[in-house]
Every structure is written in C-alpha cells, then in structure tokens.
Structure 1
Amino acid sequence: MSTDFQAARAALGARLRELRVSAPGGQRLTGSLLAERLGWPQSKVSKLENGRQTPTAEDLRAWAKATGQPEVFDELHARLQGFESSVRSWRRQLAAGHRPVQETWNSLIADTSVMHLWQNSVIPGMLQTPDYARHIFLRYAALRTSVRDTEDAVRARIKRQEWLFRPGKKFHFLVWEAALRVRICPLSVLAAQLDRLTGLIGMDTVSLGIVPFSAPLKLLPGNGFVILDERLATTEDWHAELWLDDADTVATYMRVWKTLSESAVYGHEAQQIITQARRSLDAP
C-alpha cells in the first residue's frame, strides 16, 4: 500500500476519532459504546480510527449519524473519494465483476487522443482476441474470488477496440517479448492472438513496438502502465490499480516509457519477433 494512501487513511481515522470524542450529549462516547450503537465489533471501530481499515461510504454515514453529527458525512465522503481516487482496490472495483471496470476504461479511452502503454507480461487489453481476453478474466476472477461476468467483460473489452479504427486517435503500444510467450491460455488461443498482433502492424492509429529479449535495457522492465494524454498514468499491482495524475509523476512514467522505447523494434523487425514466438508454439 502506498505511503500517501496510508497517510490519508490515517488522517481520516483521526477525524473519525475526533467526531467520536466530540459527540454531543454529555456522556463520553467510548469506542465500545459507539460499536454497540452501530452494531459493529469493537475491533472495527479501533481499526477505522487507527487507519488500519478503509471505511465504506455506508460506514462513514453510519458513523456520522451515530456520533450525532450527520452533517459531516459529505466531508468524510469527500476525504474517502480523494484518497481512493488514486488507489483503487481490486476488492472494491470487482465487487460487481469485471464488466464495470472495462466500461470505465472504455470511457477513459473515448476521452483520450494519445495513449502510451508499456506491458511486460501480457498482451495489451486493446489488442486482445476474445478468447485470449476470456482466459485472462477467468484467471483473475479465480484469484480474486470476484463475480464471474466473463462474457460481459469480454464484450466490454472488445468494444474498446473500436477506437483503434477512429481517425484522430494515436495508440503507442510497447510490449516486452516475454508477453508474446506467456502461456496463460491454450496454445491455440495464443497462436491466434499472435496472428492478430501481426495484423495490427502498419495501422495509421497504432504504433506497436516490441522490446526483444536480446535488446540491452536502460531500465528494468517493471510493472505495466498506461499514460493517457500525459494527464493520467495508471499501473496495476496485485491489490489495487493506481491512478496517478500529478504532473511530476505522470512525467516520470513518460520518461520511463521513452527510455524503454529506445530498446524497441518496430515494423518488419517487430513482425519477425512475433513470428518467431508464433513458430515456437509449434516446436516439439
């Protein structure tokens, strides 16, 4: 968990404690009494006040009401939205399945003119075939024990590919060779996926660079990330998706992308690497 996120959560916890201590009514409202009033275990009150648990909007509304200060809910909710906008836990995002997450991304891409993407371990979502995407969603739904809305999620992701054919857009994809060879799906599905990639080379709206295993690197591959119009950078970890919009951070990600791109090959050379990966699937 990022330090900024934890600091913001601790500050919200301190504010909750302040509301409890200053609750009107004359009687000192202890943590135990508040827990009883809310019907919660006392440990939950302690965790929220000490910044060890992230409250939901419903938790904050109940807290404000139970401490006799319902009017502070808007303030508490704004704090929550402020620090959750940068660290979006998968547990919360996937509460209703993968489709809503994909639809959020569809909206982001619709409002984006230029996208830069680095991916080191999987084919980028906007370039995936339906079968490849299906296997990715199934793997992550199993890992995160989330709602299995696989077919709806696949349709939403594939719909995003319509933007690849819209004039005025530019998508700069940068992929490490490892992503071409990761066997996260049956070999027949991976073969079709690699065939799909070769067909994208030369499109007006798409720049596809491949960083070969043999290329010298100035930076370690690191996590995959996306930069939208140099206004927002996003990256994923196992627990959350990070949305980073401060100018210095976005500029750092842009420098990383440009540095990695110096090791990439394009056009015919990129097509050769994809073809080699495709042929390796037929090797005994």
Structure 2
Amino acid sequence: MNRAQIGAALRALRMASGKEAKAVARSALMSPSKLSKIENAKLAPSATDVERILTAIGVSDEVKAAYTEAARASATEATAWRLLKRIGVHKGQQAAKALETQMSTLRLFQPALVPGLLQTPEYIRAVLKRHNLSEDAVTRTINGRLERQAVLYDSTKSLQFVITEPVLRWRIIPPQMMAAQLDRIASISRLSHVDIRVVPLAVQQRDIANHAFVIRDDHMVTIETVHAEIVVTDPRDVGLYVGKFDGFAAVALSGDRMRGLLEDIRNDFLREQETP
C-alpha cells in the first residue's frame, strides 16, 4: 500500500466503526488536523500513527499488525503482493476505489491483461486464480472490483486506456468468455468520457511495452511488477510515464478502427468455439 491507499483505508475503517474523527484523533493522541491530513494522503503516517489510530478505532490485533506493517513498507513506496494478500486482497480494491473516487484523470497502460476496470467477472476470477486465494476472498475481491467499475459511468472524469493487441488474444478464459470480454470493452469505449485505444501488432514500434502502469492526475504513477506494487510521485519520473503513455496512444487504434479490431478478434474466438 502507498500513502494514499493507507489514508483511504484508515478513513474507511473509521467511518465503518461509526466513530467521529475528533474522538479518534483524541484517543490517538493527535490533532484532528493531523488525522485529516493522514486520511486524505496529505501526510505520510508513521507506523506508530497507524497503530494509535487503529487502536482508537478498535480493530482487531491482526488488522492492526497488517496495516502497521503496510505503513512501514510505504516508506519505500513499494508494497509486496504477499503483504497485500495477508491484509486482504479485497481491501486493496477498497483502497483503489478511494483513489479513483478522488481523481479526475486516469491514464492506464496495460500490455499483459485487460485493465481491471474493464474486466468481466469471469475474467477477474481467472486473474485471481494466480494468487491461491480462498473462495471467500475471491468472491469479495470480485465484488470489490465490480464496485470500483462504477467510476466508468462518472462523466466528470477522464478515463484513458491504452492496451496492446496481445492482451485481447491472451487466452486466460475460454473463447466464448473472451468474446464476451471483448464485447464489454467495445461497449465501454462508446462512453464519451472514456478513451480506449489498442496498439496493433502490425504497427512498427519505437518503444517497448515493459509493464503495466497507471497515472492518476499526472501526479502519481502506480507500477505493477511481479513481486510488488510501486508508487512513483517524483514529477520528473511521472513525466517519463506520461511521455511513454502518450507515445503508445499516438500509434494506437481508437474509435471505430479500434472496435473493428475488437470485432475481428471476437469473431475468431466465436468461430473457434463453434468448431467441433
């Protein structure tokens, strides 16, 4: 978890407890202003801050220990997936939802999988199989991701997605389900505030699709690696990712041309399904 995710999680836990901010701040031996800054990601909390806040809220020792460890890890702005799994993958969805509620512009580049905000329930389940989760954890995480997708229909936000063509062909679910997934992408692409582009394999490239990343309001970049999630906030580094995103967006298909490619790949999947 990064600073923003920890703050959003602390706020969600406090509100769920029914306790007012002033009461929690007093019990945590800090000013209401400091608590507000922590909850709104304007101040990075120490592990001690997090422990005191959660003690004031009244959470279990297990939850307290997990979030305290997350606070320590956030100092390096990198959180291992094993830590998120221990805390609860569905809680990661809650934190992401909080960030997406606050942002006004999202730019997402994905060379490996369909972006989470565009995934069907079947696709989400297939992705989660990699993490060896319990059925309860899988169900809660799927529900959490589907709840996050409500942001797609908030016309006050600008949502930009660039994915590579191999993403559309990667066989993570059966052909018929892949066809349905492509139908969903095509449908969402028709929303006026959503821009979905696909970098085709046929186009000569000058850059490399290293890994997935998300840019929020041009201030923060979240990078997904094999072992961890890394958050970048240095303006110089953020600028590098903005440039990389814009470069791929410039050579990607959009609008009807993009939907035409989706339809061709979708029809290939359906024909495969019909083959005896």
Tell me the TM-score normalised to structure 2 length.
0.70
Q: Which residue of 2 aligns with 1:238?
A: 226
Residues 265/100 of structure 1: CA separation in 2 closer, same or farther (3 Å cut): same
Shift of 1:83: 2.6
CA distance in 1, matches of 2:145, 2:70: 30
Amino acid at match of 2:201: F
Shift of 1:121: 1.2
Bigger mean CA offset, 189-198 vs 173-182: 189-198
Shift of 1:153: 0.3
Is the CA contact (8 Å cut-off) linking 1:119 and 1:175 kept in structure 2? Answer: yes
Amino acid at match of 1:132: Y
The equivalent position to 1:192 in structure 2, one of 180, 183, 190, is: 180
CA distance in 1, matches of 2:71, 2:159: 34
3-state SS of paired residue (2:251): coil
Question: Does 2:94 match 1:106?
Answer: no
Is the CA contact (8 Å cut-off) linking 1:120 and 1:175 kept in structure 2? Answer: yes
Q: Which residue of 2 aligns with 1:163?
A: 151
Q: Which residue of 2 aligns with 1:96?
A: 87
Q: Which residue of 2 aligns with 1:46?
A: none
Tell me the TM-score normalised to structure 1 length.
0.69
CA distance in 2, matches of 1:78, 1:175: 30
CA distance in 1, matches of 2:94, 2:190: 28
Tell me which structure has the larger Cα radius of gyration: 1
3-state SS of paired residue (2:261): helix
Residues 128/82 of structure 1: CA separation in 2 closer, same or farther (3 Å cut): closer
CA distance in 1, matches of 2:108, 2:217: 11
Q: Which runs of 4+ in 1 moved over 6 A?
A: 76-79
Residues 151/182 of structure 1: CA separation in 2 closer, same or farther (3 Å cut): same
Question: Does 2:202 match 1:214?
Answer: yes
Amino acid at match of 1:118: F
1:1-284 alignment runs, 5 A limit: 80-84=72-76, 86-138=77-129, 140-142=130-132, 146-148=133-135, 149-281=137-269, 282-283=271-272, 284=275
CA distance in 2, matches of 1:247, 1:88: 21
- Computed over aligned residues only, the root mean square deviation of the Cα atoms, in angstroms, reads 2.2
Shift of 1:187: 1.8
Shift of 1:81: 4.7
Which structure carries more helix by proportion?
A: 2
Output one character per residue of 1:180-223: Cα deviation in whole Å (capped at 9) or x when no partner.
01001122221110111111122112001111110121201110
Is the CA contact (8 Å cut-off) linking 1:218 and 1:260 kept in structure 2? Answer: no
Is the CA contact (8 Å cut-off) linking 2:73 and 2:79 kept in structure 1? Answer: no
Unaligned 5+ residue runs, structure 2?
Answer: 1-46, 52-67
Is the CA contact (8 Å cut-off) linking 1:97 and 1:147 kept in structure 2? Answer: no
Amino acid at match of 2:131: A
3-state SS of paired residue (1:230): coil
3-state SS of paired residue (2:87): coil
Amino acid at match of 2:225: D
Is the CA contact (8 Å cut-off) linking 2:70 and 2:79 kept in structure 1? Answer: no
Output one character per residue of 1:119-165: Cα deviation in whole Å (capped at 9) or x when no partner.
11111000111111111112x213xxx55511110111011111111
Shift of 1:228: 0.2
Shift of 1:167: 2.2
Is the CA contact (8 Å cut-off) linking 2:70 and 2:83 kept in structure 1? Answer: no
Percent sequence identity is: 26
Shift of 1:97: 3.0
Amino acid at match of 1:105: A
CA distance in 1, matches of 2:128, 2:196: 23
CA distance in 2, matches of 1:118, 1:78: 26
CA distance in 2, matches of 1:264, 1:243: 26
CA distance in 2, matches of 1:78, 1:276: 44
